[in-house]
């Protein structure tokens, strides 16, 4: 081959396969198999019972033998039976994995036969699929190299690794749904936007605001009402499916499953949900989602804050669906701050209530990042190295985590350095490696795709 003739670029599908396999392998290897949060454990038990018995009831099962946490498994009653109380998706999605385990191992239905592995593997594979979908969306916005780097950061330098891929949280499904909506919207496949929007609502019902914002904004500004009809029609079918599921398990047609809306609108004094009875407490809870030491979006992922000036500068040139998704992520997070305590519970590394915003904001933030100058790129590299260290620690070890009362004025990552100062060496090595990789593979300029104006 002549020296001036370059090898053809590797096809995008090969990069996508490699990205999925790397993410899936790391996620499966580091998922939570023994140290399982009560939210995840409850969902796993529900799926295991359906797969092993064909019914959702947990009557006669010593769930406390399974439960190794300090909290109580989430249950309710229906037709005189005990049943796991969780959103539809986190139970339904791992039923196939538990069914495969039943076929392979011929295990029984007692507490001794339970395993968290099928649920953990399911969460890992779902999150790897989310990374692939987000990468596919970013390919329509920027160059292949920039899209791939951004997808790697999304996958391993955020709580996508330490939370969504660790076990079957509701956020595992919402991140999948939002990433899928981004992929579909970037290709103007509006039925698929509705389908992935429905997937997100099976995880957390109020993500409906995200699909609605994309559909209505694109329909209005493009003067194409059919967009809203297509998204809404398939989304409605998905929500109806969640209602059917809820009726089977709980005897109610509410698509939120085991979550009763009364918990969020009835504020009993002294409960975890009484904070929005006071304007000051409500504002404090809202602010904590962004700046609390151990739960703040901007604290754990400062790359977001670093990109805000460029985001403002590039805002008008960004595709309509990106802007709609970003703003709907902000709206969703504000609603989340009204609906539930900012911390999201104990035993979490990073944040979970901000994951929906992170997924919604990623396309816009990537479009901003590719416009960064040399100095900002240098700062971004350092920050990404720190985030990779932080979430590598949490993703691999599933710890350290802080207890209640420490979420405002402490941070698990910083506390880890206090406890084990030698971790500073790891931080220095990862940051140095990030700079080295950037210099070796990303220093040459590459033409960026121009975002389509709508």
The pLDDT tens digits of the residues spanning 67-88 come to 988 889 999 999 999 999 999 9
**Host H or E run for residue 82:** strand 81-84
Average pLDDT over residues 390-399: 91
Assess if residue 277 is contained within a domain.
yes
pLDDT of residue 267: 57
**Host H or E run for residue 76:** strand 75-78
Q: Is the pLDDT of residue 441 over 70?
A: yes
State the pLDDT confidence band at 7, using cuts at 50, 70 and 90. Answer: very low
Whether 449 and 142 have beta carbons less than 8 Å apart is answered as yes
Assess if residue 14 is contained within a domain.
no
Average pLDDT over residues 377-398: 95
pLDDT of residue 84: 95
Backbone angles phi, psi at 106, to 5 degrees: 55, 40
Average pLDDT over residues 21-42: 95
Domain that holds residue 383: 121-441
Assess if residue 79 is contained within a domain.
no
Q: Is the pLDDT of residue 1 over 80?
A: no
Mean pLDDT score across all residues of the chain = 91
Query: Each residue of 223-271: pLDDT tens digit?
Result: 999 999 999 999 999 999 999 999 999 999 999 988 766 555 555 555 5
Backbone angles phi, psi at 414, to 5 degrees: -65, -40
Assess if residue 219 is contained within a domain.
yes
For the chain, the domain total comes to 1
Assess if residue 94 is contained within a domain.
no
Assess if residue 31 is contained within a domain.
no
3-state secondary structure at position 351: coil
Query: Each residue of 146-205: pLDDT tens digit?
Result: 999 999 999 999 999 999 999 999 999 999 999 999 999 999 999 999 999 999 999 999
Whether 356 and 174 have beta carbons less than 8 Å apart is answered as yes
The span from the CA of 313 to the CA of 317, in Å, is 9
pLDDT of residue 273: 65
Assess if residue 102 is contained within a domain.
no
Q: Is the pLDDT of residue 115 over 90?
A: yes
Assess if residue 95 is contained within a domain.
no
Whether 94 and 49 have beta carbons less than 8 Å apart is answered as no
Q: Is the pLDDT of residue 6 over 50?
A: no
pLDDT of residue 71: 86
pLDDT of residue 106: 84
């Amino acid at each position: 081959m002549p020296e001036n003739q370059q090898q053809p670029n590797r096809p995008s599908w090969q990069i996508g396969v490699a990205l999925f396999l790397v993410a899936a392998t790391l996620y499966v290897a580091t998922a939570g198999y023994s140290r399982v949060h009560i939210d995840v454990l409850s969902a796993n038990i529900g799926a295991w019972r359906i797969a092993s018995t064909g019914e959702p009831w947990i009557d006669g099962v010593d769930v406390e033998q399974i439960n190794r946490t300090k909290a109580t498994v989430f249950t309710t009653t229906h037709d005189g039976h005990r049943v796991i109380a969780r959103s539809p998706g986190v139970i339904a999605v791992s039923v196939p994995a538990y069914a495969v385990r039943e076929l392979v191992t011929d295990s029984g239905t007692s507490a001794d036969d339970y395993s968290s592995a099928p649920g953990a593997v399911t969460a890992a594979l779902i999150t790897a699929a989310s990374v692939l979908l987000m990468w596919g969306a970013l390919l329509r916005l920027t160059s292949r190299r920039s899209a791939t780097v951004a997808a790697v950061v999304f996958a391993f330098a955020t709580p996508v690794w330490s939370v969504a891929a660790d076990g079957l949280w509701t956020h595992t499904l919402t991140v999948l749904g939002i990433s899928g909506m981004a992929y579909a919207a970037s290709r103007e496949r509006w039925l698929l936007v509705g389908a992935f929007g429905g997937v997100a609502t099976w995880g957390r019902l109020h993500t409906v605001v995200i699909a609605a914002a994309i559909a209505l904004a694109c329909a209005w500004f493009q003067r194409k009402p059919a967009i809203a009809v297509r998204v809404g029609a398939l989304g409605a079918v998905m929500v109806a499916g969640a209602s059917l599921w809820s009726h089977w398990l709980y005897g109610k047609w509410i698509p939120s499953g085991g979550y009763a809306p009364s918990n969020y609108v009835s504020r009993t004094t002294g409960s975890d949900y009484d904070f929005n009875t006071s304007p000051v407490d409500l504002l404090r809870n809202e602010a904590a989602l962004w700046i609390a030491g151990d739960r703040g979006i901007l604290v754990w992922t400062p790359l977001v804050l670093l990109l805000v000036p460029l985001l403002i500068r590039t805002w008008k040139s960004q595709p309509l669906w990106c802007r709609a998704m970003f703003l709907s992520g902000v709206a969703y997070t504000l609603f989340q701050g009204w609906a539930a305590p900012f911390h999201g519970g104990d035993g979490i590394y990073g944040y979970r209530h901000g994951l929906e915003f992170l997924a919604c904001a990623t396309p816009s933030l990537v479009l901003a990042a590719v416009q960064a100058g040399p100095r900002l790129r240098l700062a971004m590299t350092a920050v990404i190295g720190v985030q990779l260290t932080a979430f590598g620690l949490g993703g691999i070890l599933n710890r350290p985590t802080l207890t209640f009362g420490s979420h405002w004025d402490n941070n698990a990552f910083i506390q880890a350095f206090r406890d084990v100062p030698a971790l500073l060496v790891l931080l220095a090595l990862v940051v140095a490696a990030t700079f080295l990789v950037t210099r070796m593979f990303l220093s040459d300029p590459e033409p960026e795709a121009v975002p389509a104006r709508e």
